[in-house]
Chain A
Amino acid sequence: MAKVKKISEFVVDRDLEKCIKCQACVRMCSNDVHIYDEEFDIVRNDNSKCVGCHFCESICPTEAIEIKRNTSDIKENYHWKKEYIVDIQKQAETGGVILTGMGCDKHYKNYFDHILLNASQVTNPSIDPLREPMELKTFIGRKPDRIEYEFKNGNLILKTKIPPQLELETPIMFSAMSFGSISLNAMKSLAKAAKDFGTYWNTGEGGLPEELYEYADRCIVQVASGRFGVNIDYLEKAGAIEIKIGQGAKPGIGGHLPGEKVTEQISKTRMIPEGTDALSPAPHHDIYSIEDLKQLIFALKEATSYKKPVGVKIAAVHNVAPIASGIVRAGVDYIVIDGVRGGTGAAPKIIRDNVGIPIEIAIAVVDQRLREEGIRNNASIIAAGGFRKSSDVIKAIALGADAVYIGTAALISLGCHLCQKCYTGKCNWGIATQDPYLTKRLNPEIGAKRVYNLLRAWSLEIKEMLGGMGINAIESLRGNREQLRGIDLNEIELKMLGIKHAGEAW
């Protein structure tokens, strides 16, 4: 039979009049899209290899390159999308599971886009954040129900001891991205930005590279099913410890870092032999139920003398509220919920795009459930999964989250163009790769500055929106759903989110 031609997603549009044949693109592209043809002294393309990362376009000194979508389309229809046809063609060739990177990009309703914020008019004054204090300081950790104190001979004696807290200058932290899935330079950029701004970054499950020890106090370390890099130093250096049960991009399944990516440095950090596959089992094989989780939580607390918060990260699935309640009752200090749009370095596409629920609804039902049970104070809620802008963050907080994790947005600030090919390890931007030729393109000093700028910009925008609502401290917005209204949502959606429809007064 005739071989089915691979349909390229992008085409390289090269302006031959502008091209000076410097071959920078040829040397730089890790996907070998650009080929220099000596015979004709011309640079040609293999469009089928282009991932649309726009790196060549960015470095071309004469602006001769433009990356465009391939308009030579196959006949798709409403039911048979081009994507499905192409995937079947690929699977017919290989017989394999289709992999992808980043978060779910499907059409499911994005609730953030159906929620509107409030502002003050007349009966209470809006506050100008440029003239008045506007507070974003956030604490992550277990809060006592009440304070107890007394005065003895005029001296105040505080009897309540506050459990360990993470103190954030803005309610935005960086999601777990492991050494292996991203480069050391990318990690360092995030780590430095987190430390400089006064928030936290997260090691993911790949251990803490020695080079980043100086940022360890602003770091949350993960203990995942593969237990990579977990040793007493790792636990003791960290600001907090996070048990990773699941992640939004691939709920219910484990991970697999192929042996060829396990370099000397990664092998040292993960504490596994060089060149061996790093397999994260789907479940923790010592946690088959909630009572086992409780033991791990307290084993970690014991190991670190109850000096730092211990959290648990789960993917937002159908039973997220009762599961969260169980986890809080098991004694965690915070819980992370990762929604269906949560990112990843590699996941089977079929899982990423079909498993889990939106983070907006998950936050709302978890916050409500914990309040109904009177245990909301016992743990903070960190929301993760697809935060694109500051308004997504503020809406998540008003729904009930204490803080959010951003991953993709932070990587975009480092150059990522969302080509979704992280799993290939060929990231031209030096982010999702371990190839030294590629990683040196990312300067961690400049990277840190750019991520810092993103945090700063979003924080300023959040302050503007808060001030508009007449609120000058983020804790007065947290869980304050009166400041939200739904638009174009049905009654059950409004009920799940716990908000009123636009037009309904208090």
Chain B
Amino acid sequence: MDDRICKIPSGCGVSGIISKNGNLFSGERIILSICNMVERGNGLGSGFAGYGIYPEFSDKWCFHIMYNSEKDIETCEDYLEANFEIIHSESIPTNKNHKLKNIPIMWRYFLKIKEEKINEEAKSTEEDFIVKTVMFINKKIESAFVISSGKNMGIFKGVGNPDEIADFFKIYDYKGYLWISHNRFPTNTVGWWGGAHPFGILNWAVVHNGEISSYGINRRYLENFGYYCTLFTDTEVITYLFDLLYRKHKIDFETIGNILASPFWFQIERIEDENCKNFLKSLRIIYGPGLINGPFGIIVANSEYMVGLNDRIKLRPLVAGEDEDFYYLSSEESAIRIISKDLKNVYEIEAGKPVIFKIKWQK
């Protein structure tokens, strides 16, 4: 059986670092952090997302594409050429010295959307076009999968321990201002690299510890809005929900927290401010199918935010902290302590309350 077609539940470790002022730092720090949570993975998946890693192409859409076989490379590239100017493309550099198995072919493309493509559909934005392109490739081109599709960011992931994956992709050679990473403990064997975390679309990257019991309805809800889950893991729905709510519906992160991990009815009924009560009630009425039920601790990143969120009864750990230059989120405090000597404001984040870290760019 192609193990890509089944959804693999998993336990996991997650970690994220964001520079307060948007300064670049080496991927070594995130490697050190995630590798300090060995117990949280079992060698069956790990990955990294770095922001600010492609300054030379910072205004171009960067697609990391994973091919399971050579047969579809041409089809996929023809499709890209029909829609984009390919400014630059190359094989993603890797270390050949390793024991990893089932390695797919990995390629990155720096793209500019052909102008006529945007004009074709009057209301369509560049972002909508990218989402449509990614959905098309993932759904229609059998062995090609777009792993990330943002600007000046990229996702690197595969089946292996975090140290192996980091070494394979030479994560230490990249410099970024925001990194998130994942160490995976799936409950059965999986040889498919696309199933590892982070998941991404546009500038979003999501790492997730948990299993989503509401996956069945979250997935069907997203189909209403043109998002199709093709990677067969529940983390994908979180990624698309963030894109739908933040980008398309223009909802702030705090409110997104109230949708994905909504307050209970008894809590809403206790609120005295009628306006606020009505708002929360409306959110639950409208976005009920978007509620994420089941245990989760997630770190979500885009080009200027890192957000942490737990399920509404806090069934997974997630710790926040900061030092002078950085904010941190991690499954375990130990994974932060190992990279920050003067850590302060360390706390377990509250159930259902998002922790939002934003970069203050330095001129």
Interface residue B251 (Cβ < 8 Å from any Cβ of A): yes
Contact B214 A143 (CB under 8 A): no
Alpha-carbon separation in the docked complex, A479 to B224 (Å): 13
Contact B224 A135 (CB under 8 A): no
Interface residue B264 (Cβ < 8 Å from any Cβ of A): yes
Contact B264 A135 (CB under 8 A): yes
Q: Which of A146-196 contact B (CB under 8 A)?
A: 146-149, 155-156, 158, 160, 162, 165
* Binary CB contact string for chain A from 462 to 506 against chain B (1 if under 8 A, 0 otherwise): 000000011111011111111100000000000000000000011
Contact A156 B276 (CB under 8 A): yes
Contact A471 B249 (CB under 8 A): no
Contact B295 A147 (CB under 8 A): no
Contact B6 A147 (CB under 8 A): no
Q: Which of B235-294 contact A (CB under 8 A)?
A: 248-251, 255, 262, 264-266, 275-276, 278-279, 282-289, 291-294
Specify which of B8, B216, B276, B284 is in contact with A482 (CB 8 Å cutoff).
B216
Contact A506 B9 (CB under 8 A): yes
Contact B289 A147 (CB under 8 A): no
Interface residue A441 (Cβ < 8 Å from any Cβ of B): no
Alpha-carbon separation in the docked complex, A481 to B289 (Å): 13
Interface residue A371 (Cβ < 8 Å from any Cβ of B): yes
Alpha-carbon separation in the docked complex, A469 to B294 (Å): 9
Chain B contact-residue range equals 35 or more
Specify which of A158, A476, A483 is in contact with B279 (CB 8 Å cutoff).
A158
Alpha-carbon separation in the docked complex, A280 to B221 (Å): 40
Contact B217 A478 (CB under 8 A): yes
Supposing A479-B217, A505-B7 touch, asked if A144 and B286 sit within 8 A by C-beta, the answer is yes
Residues of chain B contacted by A258 (CB below 8 angstroms): none
B310 to chain A, nearest CB (A): 14
| A interface size (C-beta, 8 A) | 44
Interface residue B210 (Cβ < 8 Å from any Cβ of A): yes
Total number of residue pairs linking A and B with CB closer than 8 Å? 121
Q: Which of A353-401 contact B (CB under 8 A)?
A: 371, 374, 376-377
Contact B286 A160 (CB under 8 A): yes
Contact A482 B215 (CB under 8 A): yes
Interface residue B125 (Cβ < 8 Å from any Cβ of A): no
Alpha-carbon separation in the docked complex, A148 to B279 (Å): 10
Contact B313 A127 (CB under 8 A): yes
Supposing A143-B285, A143-B286 touch, asked if A476 and B214 sit within 8 A by C-beta, the answer is yes
Interface residue A61 (Cβ < 8 Å from any Cβ of B): no
Supposing A133-B264, A149-B279, A505-B7 touch, asked if A475 and B289 sit within 8 A by C-beta, the answer is yes
Interface residue B315 (Cβ < 8 Å from any Cβ of A): yes
Interface residue A21 (Cβ < 8 Å from any Cβ of B): no
A380 to chain B, nearest CB (A): 11
Residues of chain A contacted by B211 (CB below 8 angstroms): 123-124, 470
Supposing A124-B211, A158-B279 touch, asked if A472 and B313 sit within 8 A by C-beta, the answer is yes
Supposing A158-B282, A480-B216 touch, asked if A123 and B289 sit within 8 A by C-beta, the answer is no
Contact B313 A162 (CB under 8 A): no
Interface residue A298 (Cβ < 8 Å from any Cβ of B): no
A480 to chain B, nearest CB (A): 4
Residues of chain B contacted by A156 (CB below 8 angstroms): 275-276, 279
Interface residue B39 (Cβ < 8 Å from any Cβ of A): no
Specify which of B210, B223, B249 is in contact with A147 (CB 8 Å cutoff).
B249
Residues of chain A contacted by B275 (CB below 8 angstroms): 155-156, 158
Contact A132 B313 (CB under 8 A): yes
Contact B293 A473 (CB under 8 A): yes
Residues of chain A contacted by B278 (CB below 8 angstroms): 158
Specify which of A122, A146, A479 is in contact with B216 (CB 8 Å cutoff).
A479
Q: Chain A: which residue is nearest B284 at the CB level?
A: A475
Contact B217 A371 (CB under 8 A): no
Alpha-carbon separation in the docked complex, A144 to B285 (Å): 9
Residues of chain B contacted by A256 (CB below 8 angstroms): none
Residues of chain A contacted by B282 (CB below 8 angstroms): 147, 158, 160, 162
A474 to chain B, nearest CB (A): 9
Alpha-carbon separation in the docked complex, A296 to B87 (Å): 59
Contact B10 A123 (CB under 8 A): yes
Q: Chain A: which residue is nearest B212 at the CB level?
A: A124
Q: Chain B: which residue is nearest A137 at the CB level?
A: B265
Contact B315 A506 (CB under 8 A): no
Residues of chain B contacted by A149 (CB below 8 angstroms): 255, 279
A400 to chain B, nearest CB (A): 9
Interface residue A36 (Cβ < 8 Å from any Cβ of B): no
Alpha-carbon separation in the docked complex, A483 to B294 (Å): 13
Alpha-carbon separation in the docked complex, A479 to B180 (Å): 33
Contact B10 A506 (CB under 8 A): no
B228 to chain A, nearest CB (A): 12
Supposing A143-B286, A469-B213, A479-B216 touch, asked if A133 and B291 sit within 8 A by C-beta, the answer is no
Interface residue A348 (Cβ < 8 Å from any Cβ of B): no
Residues of chain B contacted by A127 (CB below 8 angstroms): 313
Contact A123 B217 (CB under 8 A): no
Supposing A156-B275, A165-B285 touch, asked if A376 and B291 sit within 8 A by C-beta, the answer is no
Residues of chain B contacted by A472 (CB below 8 angstroms): 293, 312-313
Instruction: Kindly list 19 other residue pairs between chains A and B, CB separation below 8 angstroms, not including A133-B265, A156-B275, A162-B285.
Output: A123-B10, A123-B211, A124-B315, A132-B313, A143-B286, A143-B288, A147-B283, A149-B255, A156-B279, A158-B278, A162-B282, A371-B220, A470-B213, A479-B217, A479-B289, A480-B220, A505-B6, A506-B6, A506-B7
The 4 A-B residue pairs with the shortest CB-CB distance in the complex, in nearest-first order: A482-B216, A506-B7, A475-B288, A476-B293
What are 5 A-B interface contacts by the 8 Å CB criterion? Answer: A148-B250, A160-B282, A377-B286, A476-B213, A476-B291
Residues of chain A at the chain B interface (Cβ within 8 Å): 120, 122-125, 127, 132-133, 135, 137, 139, 143-149, 155-156, 158, 160, 162, 165, 371, 374, 376-377, 469-473, 475-483, 505-506
